[in-house]
Structure 1
Amino acid sequence: MNRTVILLLYVLVIEASGEQTPAFDRTEVPSVTWPDWMSYLPDYLPLSALAIPGTHDTMAFFGGPLAECQSWSLTNQYNSGVRFLDIRCRHYQNRLPIFHGVSYQRTDFFQVLNDTVTFLTEHPSETILMRVKEEYKPYQNTRTFYQSVTEVLNQIGEHWFLRSESLPTLGEARGKVVILQEFSSEGEGPDFGPPYPGPMSISDAYQVTDDSVKWADVERHLTVAQNGDPERAYLTFCSGVHWLLYTPESLARRINPRVHDYLINKTPLRGRRRSVGVVIMDFPGAELVKQIVLDNWV
């Protein structure tokens, strides 16, 4: 049996078992919930300056080890404190099913937004940043991706979405979804929200051959964010994959604890102007989510 087969079998055995630690969680329910943490922050703060927990490929629950990125349902992610979503829609027969690469995730954009509105109805102090991206190959459509997104938003209700060219303050965004738009609206109509990536500072080295190199990039960007412009959003992706060396889960087991330790042990930076920004993870542990939130008061 060659080394590649042995490695893949090892990964499948390790990742088949549920595990819940402060920084990593492969179970269905977070150990700690904090569904109203934004209610403790003042309205005048710009969203761009907040420390916000996020999930990479938020709805990626199916497709095998190389495709699966989360184990908490969307509602449980919200309850844990997650406020940034990474939503990937395939344009398929004028509908918007959720995909991760080639893998269908057994839900669609309407359901994601419907669950989001349900959460915001119960927790109106909160806001959701939602990156929306067209994923995989379009198939048999008679309209544009923009038009299909427009239809879904109209079905949900336009009043749930804050259309803004830049990230608003927390007070302006409470109870609403702020879409970060990663698809074209040229010649179609107004943008749904701030462009992604636009002027944001983003660290997203997702092709990983060495987890130490990946961690060095994450740590560097977390430090950059704390000294950055409060009006500019800083997004740090802790996620990554390699078809042979790392699945999303195996990398998260290595990176998430380092992020957790960084947040607990970091000393105040001289001249620090803001928080660590948006921290985006695969399989985050509830205590890690909590530590990101707490950075808003450090």
Structure 2
Amino acid sequence: MDHKVKLVLYFMVVGAFGEQTPAFDRTDAPSVTMPDWMSYLPDSLPLSSLAIPGTHDTMAFFGGPLAECQSWGLLNQFSAGVRFLDIRPRHYQNSLPIFHGVSYQRVYFDQVLRDTVTFLTEHPSETVLMRVKEEYEPYENTRSYYQSVAEVVSQIGEQWFLRSSSLPTLGEARGKIIVLQEFSSKGEGPDFGPPYPGRMSISDQYQVSDDAVKWAEVERHLKVAQNGDPERAYLTYCSGTHWLLYTPESLARKINPRVLGFLNTKSSVGRTRSMGIVITDFPGSELVRQIVLDNWK
């Protein structure tokens, strides 16, 4: 058996028992919490200029090793400091269950929003950026995806959403959900938030055949972000998979420590801004913390 295949199988077994390190966490809850970190930043800062920890396929907890991307539940992710969510509702019989590919994640979009509102009610200094992407194939719908999203947003309450064509300042966004809209409005109504990708600079090489190549791209884009336009959002996905060589977990074990090492050694000299939104699978608490601390470097 090829050694890389053996390695993937090893991580499948080890991951089932849980592991917690500074950069990688396969347990249920973070070891360190930072539920109010945005409260220490001034209102005038553009959201686009902030260093923000994010999770890829935020609600992907089920479906086996190739589908599972996180182990902390949503409220624990918020508690750890995560403020960017990657939410993938499928349009199924006019409802919006969360999927990762073909795998149903046992939760619906409205519950994701309710949990987010619960967090923001308790921590009004914070804001949540939420990429909303139509996932997998639509099935037996009598209305558009936009209409189904609009119904859920109305049920939750429009007051929890800041509808804007671009990312606002932190002061404007506090206590609100900012939807990054990756689906069409089709002229049916106003957008829910800034278009994704829009003007954003995004590195998301999710098909990975060599972790060294993946890391080189992650490092390249983090450096681009650190010297980029403060009015432009930079999103670096550290996640990826390969049907044979890497699960999301096994790749996170390799990439996350490198991101943490980069954060711990990178000098602030000559930089013009933060490293932007850094999006990971199975992040460790120290990795999240160091992303947050980049706002003060």
- The one-character-per-residue Cα deviations of 1:136-157 (angstroms, maximum 9, x if unpaired) are 0000000000000000000000
Q: Partners of 1:204 and 1:53 in 2: how far apart?
A: 15
Match of 2:86, SS? strand
CA contact (8 A) 2:46 2:168 kept: yes
The one-letter code matched in structure 2 to 1:295 is: D
- Any stretches of 5+ residues in structure 1 without a counterpart? none
Q: Partners of 1:198 and 1:147 in 2: how far apart?
A: 22
The residue that corresponds to 1:70 in the other structure is 70
The one-letter code matched in structure 1 to 2:187 is: G
CA contact (8 A) 2:11 2:249 kept: no
How much has 1:4 moved relative to structure 2? 8.2
The residue that corresponds to 2:286 in the other structure is 287
How much has 1:186 moved relative to structure 2? 2.0
- The one-character-per-residue Cα deviations of 1:201-232 (angstroms, maximum 9, x if unpaired) are 00000000000100000001000001000000
The one-letter code matched in structure 2 to 1:283 is: F
Match of 2:295, SS? coil
CA contact (8 A) 2:5 2:245 kept: no
The residue that corresponds to 1:43 in the other structure is 43
Distance 1:12 1:188, change over 3 A: same
CA contact (8 A) 2:4 2:245 kept: no
Q: Spell out the pairing of 1:185-264 with structure 2 (5 A cutoff).
A: 185-264=185-264
Q: Partners of 2:263 and 2:2 in 1: how far apart?
A: 40
The residue that corresponds to 1:273 in the other structure is 272
Q: Partners of 2:29 and 2:6 in 1: how far apart?
A: 31
Stretches of 4+ moved more than 2 A in 1? 1-12
- The one-character-per-residue Cα deviations of 1:96-119 (angstroms, maximum 9, x if unpaired) are 000000000000100000000000
Q: Partners of 2:232 and 2:120 in 1: how far apart?
A: 25
Distance 1:5 1:261, change over 3 A: closer
The residue that corresponds to 2:142 in the other structure is 142
Percent identical residues: 78
Q: Partners of 1:65 and 1:279 in 2: how far apart?
A: 22
* TM, length-normalised to structure 1: 0.98
The residue that corresponds to 1:81 in the other structure is 81
How much has 1:285 moved relative to structure 2? 0.2
How much has 1:13 moved relative to structure 2? 1.5
Distance 1:166 1:26, change over 3 A: same
Distance 1:45 1:8, change over 3 A: closer
Is 2:26 the counterpart of 1:26? Answer: yes
* TM, length-normalised to structure 2: 0.98
Q: Which moved more, 1:25-34 or 1:14-23?
A: 14-23
- The one-character-per-residue Cα deviations of 1:53-76 (angstroms, maximum 9, x if unpaired) are 000000000000000000000000
How much has 1:8 moved relative to structure 2? 5.2
Q: Partners of 1:6 and 1:264 in 2: how far apart?
A: 31
Is 2:158 the counterpart of 1:158? Answer: yes
The one-letter code matched in structure 1 to 2:152 is: V
How much has 1:3 moved relative to structure 2? 6.9
Q: Partners of 2:102 and 2:81 in 1: how far apart?
A: 29
- The one-character-per-residue Cα deviations of 1:216-264 (angstroms, maximum 9, x if unpaired) are 0000100000100000000000000000000000000000000001001
Distance 1:235 1:10, change over 3 A: same
Q: Partners of 2:36 and 2:78 in 1: how far apart?
A: 9
- The one-character-per-residue Cα deviations of 1:128-172 (angstroms, maximum 9, x if unpaired) are 000000000000000000000000000000000000000000000
Q: Partners of 1:183 and 1:19 in 2: how far apart?
A: 36
CA contact (8 A) 2:48 2:233 kept: yes
Q: Partners of 2:82 and 2:5 in 1: how far apart?
A: 36
The one-letter code matched in structure 1 to 2:26 is: R
The one-letter code matched in structure 2 to 1:135 is: E
CA contact (8 A) 2:274 2:295 kept: yes
Q: Partners of 1:204 and 1:132 in 2: how far apart?
A: 16
Matched residue count: 297
